Amino acid sequence: MVRCWCGKQAITRTSWTSANPGRRFCGCPDEGSSCRWIGWYDPEMCAHSRMIIPGLLRGRNELEERLEVAQGDVWKWKIYLGSSCRWIGWYDPEMCAHSRMIIPGLLRGRNELEERLEVAQGDVWKWKIYLVLSWILFLIVYALG
Protein backbone atom coordinates (compact mmCIF):
# COMPACT_ATOMS: atom_id res chain seq x y z
CA MET A 1 0.00 0.00 0.00
CA VAL A 2 1.43 3.35 -1.08
CA ARG A 3 1.04 6.27 1.33
CA CYS A 4 0.81 9.92 0.39
CA TRP A 5 3.11 12.53 1.96
CA CYS A 6 0.20 13.52 4.22
CA GLY A 7 -0.10 9.93 5.51
CA LYS A 8 -3.31 8.99 3.67
CA GLN A 9 -3.50 6.00 1.35
CA ALA A 10 -2.51 7.16 -2.15
CA ILE A 11 -4.87 6.59 -5.07
CA THR A 12 -4.14 5.91 -8.73
CA ARG A 13 -4.84 8.84 -11.04
CA THR A 14 -4.37 9.32 -14.77
CA SER A 15 -2.25 12.07 -16.32
CA TRP A 16 -3.65 13.76 -19.42
CA THR A 17 -0.72 16.11 -19.99
CA SER A 18 1.02 16.22 -23.38
CA ALA A 19 4.16 14.68 -21.90
CA ASN A 20 2.39 11.73 -20.22
CA PRO A 21 -1.06 11.22 -21.80
CA GLY A 22 -2.96 8.31 -20.28
CA ARG A 23 -0.13 7.43 -17.90
CA ARG A 24 -1.24 6.45 -14.40
CA PHE A 25 0.45 7.70 -11.25
CA CYS A 26 0.02 7.54 -7.47
CA GLY A 27 -1.22 10.72 -5.83
CA CYS A 28 -2.98 12.19 -2.83
CA PRO A 29 -6.67 11.25 -2.48
CA ASP A 30 -7.55 14.87 -1.62
CA GLU A 31 -8.49 16.86 -4.71
CA GLY A 32 -6.36 20.01 -5.01
CA SER A 33 -3.95 18.86 -2.29
CA SER A 34 -0.55 20.50 -1.97
CA CYS A 35 1.09 17.10 -1.41
CA ARG A 36 3.93 16.32 -3.77
CA TRP A 37 3.64 13.81 -6.58
CA ILE A 38 4.44 10.30 -5.32
CA GLY A 39 5.42 8.22 -8.34
CA TRP A 40 4.42 6.62 -11.63
CA TYR A 41 2.26 3.51 -11.67
CA ASP A 42 2.86 2.80 -15.37
CA PRO A 43 6.18 2.72 -17.26
CA GLU A 44 6.99 5.68 -19.49
CA MET A 45 5.22 5.65 -22.85
CA CYS A 46 7.03 5.51 -26.14
CA ALA A 47 7.41 8.68 -28.21
CA HIS A 48 4.86 7.39 -30.74
CA SER A 49 2.17 7.23 -28.03
CA ARG A 50 3.00 10.67 -26.68
CA MET A 51 2.55 11.98 -30.20
CA ILE A 52 -0.75 10.19 -31.07
CA ILE A 53 -2.78 10.23 -27.85
CA PRO A 54 -3.04 14.04 -27.35
CA GLY A 55 -4.41 14.43 -30.90
CA LEU A 56 -6.98 11.70 -30.29
CA LEU A 57 -8.02 13.37 -27.03
CA ARG A 58 -8.33 16.79 -28.70
CA GLY A 59 -10.44 15.24 -31.46
CA ARG A 60 -12.66 13.51 -28.92
CA ASN A 61 -13.13 16.75 -26.95
CA GLU A 62 -14.04 18.62 -30.14
CA LEU A 63 -16.59 15.93 -31.05
CA GLU A 64 -18.11 16.07 -27.56
CA GLU A 65 -18.48 19.86 -27.90
CA ARG A 66 -20.06 19.52 -31.36
CA LEU A 67 -22.40 16.82 -30.07
CA GLU A 68 -23.47 19.03 -27.16
CA VAL A 69 -24.23 21.90 -29.57
CA ALA A 70 -26.17 19.60 -31.92
CA GLN A 71 -28.20 18.13 -29.05
CA GLY A 72 -28.98 21.67 -27.90
CA ASP A 73 -30.16 22.50 -31.43
CA VAL A 74 -32.50 19.48 -31.40
CA TRP A 75 -34.16 20.74 -28.23
CA LYS A 76 -34.35 24.26 -29.63
CA TRP A 77 -36.22 23.05 -32.73
CA LYS A 78 -38.50 20.83 -30.64
CA ILE A 79 -39.36 23.84 -28.50
CA TYR A 80 -40.00 26.01 -31.59
CA LEU A 81 -42.47 23.41 -32.83
CA GLY A 82 -44.03 23.08 -29.46
CA SER A 83 -42.86 20.00 -28.29
CA SER A 84 -17.65 9.07 -39.17
CA CYS A 85 -14.72 8.22 -39.63
CA ARG A 86 -14.46 4.47 -39.31
CA TRP A 87 -11.72 2.96 -37.22
CA ILE A 88 -9.07 1.30 -39.31
CA GLY A 89 -7.00 -1.10 -37.28
CA TRP A 90 -3.26 -1.07 -37.60
CA TYR A 91 -0.25 -2.63 -36.06
CA ASP A 92 2.78 -0.51 -35.31
CA PRO A 93 5.70 -2.48 -33.92
CA GLU A 94 7.11 0.73 -32.41
CA MET A 95 3.98 1.26 -30.30
CA CYS A 96 4.31 0.25 -26.67
CA ALA A 97 1.90 -2.18 -25.00
CA HIS A 98 0.24 0.59 -22.98
CA SER A 99 -0.58 2.48 -26.18
CA ARG A 100 -2.06 -0.61 -27.78
CA MET A 101 -4.33 -0.77 -24.74
CA ILE A 102 -5.40 2.90 -24.67
CA ILE A 103 -5.64 3.96 -28.33
CA PRO A 104 -8.35 1.48 -29.48
CA GLY A 105 -10.60 2.60 -26.61
CA LEU A 106 -10.11 6.25 -27.54
CA LEU A 107 -10.89 5.45 -31.16
CA ARG A 108 -14.03 3.51 -30.21
CA GLY A 109 -15.12 6.45 -28.06
CA ARG A 110 -14.48 8.84 -30.93
CA ASN A 111 -16.48 6.66 -33.32
CA GLU A 112 -19.39 6.47 -30.87
CA LEU A 113 -19.36 10.27 -30.49
CA GLU A 114 -19.32 10.73 -34.27
CA GLU A 115 -22.31 8.41 -34.61
CA ARG A 116 -24.21 10.25 -31.87
CA LEU A 117 -23.32 13.56 -33.57
CA GLU A 118 -24.71 12.31 -36.90
CA VAL A 119 -27.96 11.28 -35.20
CA ALA A 120 -28.25 14.61 -33.42
CA GLN A 121 -27.59 16.55 -36.63
CA GLY A 122 -30.25 14.47 -38.40
CA ASP A 123 -32.69 15.28 -35.60
CA VAL A 124 -32.00 19.00 -36.05
CA TRP A 125 -32.95 18.76 -39.72
CA LYS A 126 -36.03 16.71 -38.91
CA TRP A 127 -37.30 19.34 -36.46
CA LYS A 128 -36.54 22.18 -38.87
CA ILE A 129 -38.60 20.40 -41.54
CA TYR A 130 -41.46 19.82 -39.06
CA LEU A 131 -41.43 23.51 -38.22
CA VAL A 132 -41.57 24.58 -41.88
CA LEU A 133 -44.32 22.05 -42.63
CA SER A 134 -46.34 23.29 -39.66
CA TRP A 135 -46.07 26.86 -40.98
CA ILE A 136 -47.21 25.74 -44.44
CA LEU A 137 -50.13 23.80 -42.96
CA PHE A 138 -51.07 26.82 -40.84
CA LEU A 139 -51.03 29.08 -43.92
CA ILE A 140 -53.17 26.61 -45.89
CA VAL A 141 -55.72 26.31 -43.07
CA TYR A 142 -55.71 30.10 -42.59
CA ALA A 143 -56.20 30.72 -46.34
CA LEU A 144 -59.04 28.20 -46.60
CA GLY A 145 -60.71 29.30 -43.40
From CA 41, how far away is CA 90, in angstroms rounded? 27
Q: Is the pTM of this model over 0.75?
A: no
Which residues lie closer than 8 Å to 25 by C-beta, 6 or more apart?
A: 12, 13, 14, 15, 37, 38, 39, 40, 41, 42
The answer to whether the CB of 60 falls within 8 A of the CB of 87 is no
With a cut of 50, say whether residue 63 has pLDDT above it.
yes
Condensed to tens digits (0 to 9), the pLDDT of residues 108-130 reads 888 888 888 888 888 888 888 88
Condensed to tens digits (0 to 9), the pLDDT of residues 13-53 reads 888 777 777 888 888 888 888 887 778 887 777 777 777 88
So what's the pLDDT on residue 80?
A: 57
